[in-house]
Chains A and B, each alone.
Chain A
Amino acid sequence: MKTRLYVSVLLCAAVVAAQPVLAHHSFAMFDTAKRVTMSGTVTSFEWTNPHAYIELDVPDEKGTIKHWSIELGSPSILMQAGWKFTDVKVGDKITVVLSPLRSGEAGGLLAQVTVRDGRVLGNGPGRVGGQP
């Protein structure tokens, strides 16, 4: 129990520390205390400002597809963490961990992604992926 509390405090500290890194707006619309993992097929990867986006088709157990819009940092912030614009492509099967929108809609803020060659990339320096 103590360990769990310690971990969640650490997680909160990491989230608070990471927020200014992404800074074009407040991230309070995302529930950054939550982490949801999902796998799917990329329908679009937009390497744009003020944010990059991954559009993902995610099938459930019955094969019904739900579509998710996932927000990333900006290209500059992602590149400082080692990203390339070619790391995600349309048709890739990827696994993402995201903080969902508090509204319950199918959107979220990326925490990390496992890309097609198995590398795990975070959402900017200070997150998974680390400093350049």
Chain B
Amino acid sequence: MTVLTQILVSGIGFALPLLVAAAGELVSERAGVLNLSLEGMMLSGAFTAVLGSVLTGSPWLGALAGVAGGLLLGAAQALLSVRCLADQIVVGVAANALALATTTFGARLLLDDGRGHDVAAFDRVEIPLLHDIPLIGPALFGQTALGYLCVLVVVVTAVLLSPRTGPGLRIDATGEDAVAADRTGLPVRRLRILCILLTSAMAGLAGAQLALSEVRAFSDNMTAGIGYLAVVAVIAGRWRAPGTVVAAILFGLAQALQYALPALGVAVPPAVLAMVPYVIAIVAVSGLTGRSHAPSGLTVPFARA
């Protein structure tokens, strides 16, 4: 395997969870809800996925538990920010802290109890012929079954909820002008709650993919900021699916470079490489994006006057 192929393989490995989470977050943001809690949803998903896999011995049940773990935090975000009109960002930051503390606490109690636990993880499935395509073959067609499912989920969400479909239009209307959407009879709050739940389920799936396909274990704070990068990918992608996908893949590759460059013998301190994705993210958020693309109702809670 050439070096470039290796970077691509690990880059797509990092990008895939980020992509699933970002694709979910895109739906929420178009509906007007910013979920900074995405990071916490992914982390909860990763934790419950590993827990589920250890308890049942089945990776698929583990992945299902991961989705449920994401949903749990999503329900809290929806209840507090849509029902109780709490500040979305404050709720998001606090929910992340809660997820980080709870999963660390839970890992001490349930996973690090001195008895080794076998994590039933997913194995890679190489698709014949396609896998042999030079350069990109191994990166794209050497995923686990859950990885392929992730890609499928991203594609289905992007197509079904694109701005050219009925549901997609309703979501955009809710995010652009909730008051007008409400007057035309759209159930604004219900739509927003559903969008947050979809986002959190996808973030939970992303966490499961990270824990069961890539790392094959749970470690404290294992998402380490990927959730925030996913939020930024949506902003950098100007709230549209193609841009979000590109941004997510770029962030994934930037993460992969962290591990690839030292292996290539390039002497760069690891800390410098660790900050690269975040510096790119700051530049992307502040420089590339015009403000006009943001849904105008983003982070504004809706209550009937």
Q: Do A and B come from one complex?
A: no
Interface residues of A (CB under 8 A from B): none
